[in-house]
Amino acid sequence: MPIAKMMAGVPVLNAGLYRTAGFLVGDPVVWIELSDGELSERHFILRDIELDRAKKHSRATHCWSPNDFAPKGGLSGDRETATAQSAAEFLRRRKLESVIVDRSIPMIYVHMLREAGLEVQCDLDWGILERRQKTAEEIEKIYFAQQQTEKVMERACSTVACAEADRDGILYHDGGPLTSERLQSLIDVWLLELGFSNPTSIVAGGPVGADCHDHGHGYLRTAEPVIVDIFPRDKKTLYNGDCTRTVVHGVISETLARMHSTVVRAKGAATSAVRAGVTGQQVHEATIRSMEQDGYSMGLPPADAPDSYTAMTHGTGHGLGLEVHEPPLLAMGGPTLLVGDVVTIEPGLYCKAIGGIRVEDIVVVESNGCRSLNHLHEGLDWK
């Protein structure tokens, strides 16, 4: 009896399902793999109006409509329910007793499978390990996305560095105040012109940047660090870039220079630790050692910590591909790295009284090390 494995959901919302099926659509679909020894069939169930396209462009060997597998009582008028019903009926007609599903499958599909009397098992790694090990073609797509991201990053940081400061230290650009929101809008436009969609970038100046995921708001000021984190998606390939730099307009204080030097050194230590066979935790531990050697702490501030408390409050990095955040994590408990993993290296330091410093590149994991996909300089001065 063949082994059945099944994914389901909406490919535009489920990057793992899209990568497996190779077909982008905004409606519910089911992907079923049947294997018996070396024999493998890949069945794709989706709306009838998509069948011709799917037959040409998906990775399936067989494409079906839910109507091809209607149960005795007929299909529901609800599209997702009907798709789940048809998947259960497909497997029932094959006289299968069990099916293996991936970690992302919606509960409605599991419910319908169990209603049909099938045993459902979850393979937590199915689709994840395959997706992590990027092909040469995928790496080229990510590299292109990163090149475009860097173009916009350089433009954004230069805009801050070359702005004019008024007597109160507020920065001005093209006759108006330069705020986080204004620079975010400029970044959106620049990326749109390059063919990229963009969630709200992080442009966090001064103390606002002490929260590593605050997107930023308000005036940007001279002598304060401005974290710029851009993570856009190529509309054609759907692969992401991800780059962070920190820029300071005007005078760079000794405190900021020291924080920045530590962050860059920690990034180098983490990058040197990356290779296939080490764990994400080991890479993060290299960051920790480097930070602590320079006298900085790790972790969120204690409740009674002064505003001068300065620490790294997050992991070293994460996987990147069809999503900005995907496995593996470079953090405590992070898994063994594989050849083809594409990961960010992004240490940072944060202080409520001052703000934050973060520098981020992406690297491709190789057997004896890693390869950087970045070319931008790491400094604070962007004039």
Residues 326 and 355 in one domain: yes
At residue 69, the pLDDT reads: 98
pLDDT tens digits along 28-57: 999 999 998 776 899 999 999 999 999 999
Please provide residue 274's backbone torsions phi and psi, each rounded to the nearest 5 degrees. Answer: -80, 125
Residue 168 pLDDT > 90, yes or no?
yes
pLDDT tens digits along 61-114: 999 999 999 999 999 999 999 999 999 999 999 999 999 999 999 999 999 999
* Residue 2: cis peptide before it, omega within 30 degrees of 0: no
The pLDDT mean for the chain works out to 97
At residue 140, the pLDDT reads: 98
Identify whether the C-beta of residue 11 lies closer than 8 Å to the C-beta of residue 17: yes
Residue 225 pLDDT > 80, yes or no?
yes
Task: State percent of the chain over pLDDT 70.
Answer: 100
Residue 180 pLDDT > 90, yes or no?
yes
Strands 164-165 and 196-197: unpaired
Tell me the helices (H) and strands (E) count for the chain, helix number first: 9, 23
Question: Residue 102: which domain range?
Answer: 3-126
Residues 95 and 161 in one domain: no
If pLDDT is split at 50, 70 and 90, which confidence band does 155 have? very high
Average pLDDT over residues 339-366: 98
Residue with tokens 């990034």: 267
* Six-digit token string for 14: 């489920």
Please give the C-alpha separations between residue 272 and each of 110, 308, 335, in angstroms, as whole numbers: 44, 30, 17
Please give the C-alpha separations between residue 232 and each of 84, 105, 276, 383, in angstroms, as whole numbers: 33, 26, 27, 24
Helices (H), the chain: 15-21, 51-57, 79-93, 107-115, 128-132, 136-161, 180-193, 254-273, 280-293
Q: Does residue 379 belong to any structural domain of this protein?
A: no
Residue 11 pLDDT > 90, yes or no?
yes
Average pLDDT over residues 331-348: 98
pLDDT tens digits along 233-287: 999 999 999 999 999 999 999 999 999 999 999 999 999 999 999 999 999 999 9
Residues 117 and 144 in one domain: no
* Six-digit token string for 237: 């390939």
Helix (H) or strand (E) holding 244: strand 243-248
Whole-angstrom distance, CA of residue 75 vs CA of residue 246: 55
At a CB cut-off of 8 Å and minimum separation 6, what does 90 contact?
A: 30, 32, 43, 45, 64, 69
Strands 98-101 and 62-64: unpaired
Number of domains, the chain: 2
Q: What is the CATH number of the domain that holds 254?
A: 3.90.230.10
Q: Does residue 378 belong to any structural domain of this protein?
A: no
Average pLDDT over residues 187-199: 97
Dihedral sign for Cα atoms in the order 309, 313, 317, 321: negative
Q: What is the CATH number of the domain that holds 115?
A: 3.40.350.10
Residues 107 and 208 in one domain: no
Q: Does residue 380 belong to any structural domain of this protein?
A: no
Residues 363 and 320 in one domain: yes
